[in-house]
Amino acid sequence: ILALALLSCTSTQNRRDRALQHFDLGNSLYASGKYPYALRELLSAQKLDPSNPRILNSIGLVYQARGRGDLAIKFLKEALELSPKYTEARNNLVRVLIENKRFSEAEDQLKIVKKDLTFGALDVVYLNEGLLYFDQKKFEQALDPFAKSIQFSRGTCSPHQFYGRTLFELKKYHEAAIALDRAINFCQSSGND
């Protein structure tokens, strides 16, 4: 019986190790923009370790990148069911909900994200908050979160770009021109148009 138990533990660990290899490769492919290949690797990882919320989170991100917001939301919510305090997945869910025009749900989830004082990616939290307002054409409300996002990550393209675009929408053209010129430097250096 002891030998069978040890064999079972070894088998489970081997499955998790193989899942981690697929997970790492899938995330690397995702970062390279090779979404179909990333999805294949991440789905393989999920088969080997179906209750791993990190794998489900990554699958959700790939589905969103492939234009399947419905599946992205499904996988991100599954990750949160398994690990309700997984703030990174919740913050990703906020972004996907915004991109899918589900603003009230996004706002509810964002409130939960902002309560987690251990979550370090405040630049992304405030970027998401700014996008929540920007996409609803609430430009006055979007300015402050975009400014805070810039404050927490000065060299990132998106907050600078959206801050400038928000100023433009508010017809503050001189300030918008300055902000967008600043954004160009950050966006070009990061390879964004």
pLDDT digits (tens, 9 = 90+) for 106-145: 999 999 999 999 999 999 999 999 999 999 999 999 999 9
pTM of this prediction?
A: 0.88
How big is the CA angle at 127 (ends 85 and 67), to the nearest 5 degrees?
80
Of 36-40, 127-131, 185-189, where does mean pLDDT reach its minimum? 185-189
DSSP string, 122-182: HHHHHHHHHHHHHTTT-HHHHHHHHHHHHHH-TT-HHHHHHHHHHHHHTT-HHHHHHHHHH
So what's the pLDDT on residue 186?
80
So what's the pLDDT on residue 100?
95
Q: Above 50 in pLDDT, residue 6? A: no
Does 188 or 75 have the greater pLDDT score? 75
Q: Above 70 in pLDDT, residue 62? A: yes
pLDDT band at 177 (very low <50, low <70, confident <90, very high): very high
So what's the pLDDT on residue 57?
98
Q: Are 176 and 143 in contact (CB under 8 A)?
A: no
Does 77 or 184 have the greater pLDDT score? 77
In terms of Cα–Cα distance, which of 141, 91, 147 is closest to 116?
91
So what's the pLDDT on residue 148?
96
